[in-house]
Structure 1
Amino acid sequence: MKELRKGAFLFQRGTKKTEEQDKQELLAEIRLAHSQWKTAQHHFEHALEKDEIDYAIYAVEAAEKRYEMLLRQAKRQNVTSAYHITVEVRG
């Protein structure tokens, strides 16, 4: 019986580590998505031709949606971080 408990403890411990890894991966994805969103905004600001502008609009909207999706996912999972981002709200 003692061996069974020891194995169960190791399994729980491994699960907790995986949850922490998942949290860190989500936070890394959020940082990456924010960076991609800012890059897309920069490209939009410097687009000159109609096709460039159209593509830049698409890229900004896609990056923004991905960033918002990841933030909602973090909120649902109660994932927080000391990493803070100032978000500019359009409107």
Structure 2
Amino acid sequence: MEDSESRDATVLIAAIERAKEEMQYAENYFESVYDPDLVDHAIYYREAARKKYDYLLKLAKKEGLIKAE
């Protein structure tokens, strides 16, 4: 069972790292667009990336993988 839990923790931590990279990419994308239609898209994309990252952090805290602040 511990091996499975360890694997699950590794998968979750990797997902958090990917989500963090996606959030940074979304922020860069937002900063680089000028067309009003793309600005709207960039805002939604940035918010979605933040929500995903926040969710994964919350899950990791619940699982005791990271300290709750």
TM-score normalised by structure 1 residue count? 0.71
RCO comparison, higher one (Cα < 8 Å, 6+)? 2
**By percentage of residues, which structure has more helix?**
2
Show the 5 A alignment for 1:42-57: 42-57=28-43
In structure 1, what is the Cα distance between the partners aligned to 2:11 and 2:33? 32
Question: Partner letter of residue 59 of structure 2?
Answer: Q
Identity %: 35
In structure 1, what is the Cα distance between the partners aligned to 2:31 and 2:59? 29
Q: Note the residue ranges of structure 2 that are not aligned, 5 or more in a row.
A: none
Corresponding position of 1:60: 46
Following superposition, which runs of at least 4 residues in structure 1 exceed 4 angstroms of deviation? none
Question: Partner letter of residue 70 of structure 1?
Answer: L
- The count of corresponding residues between Structure 1 and Structure 2 is 66
In our comparison, the structure showing a higher alpha carbon Rg is: 1
> How far is 1:46 from its partner?
0.4
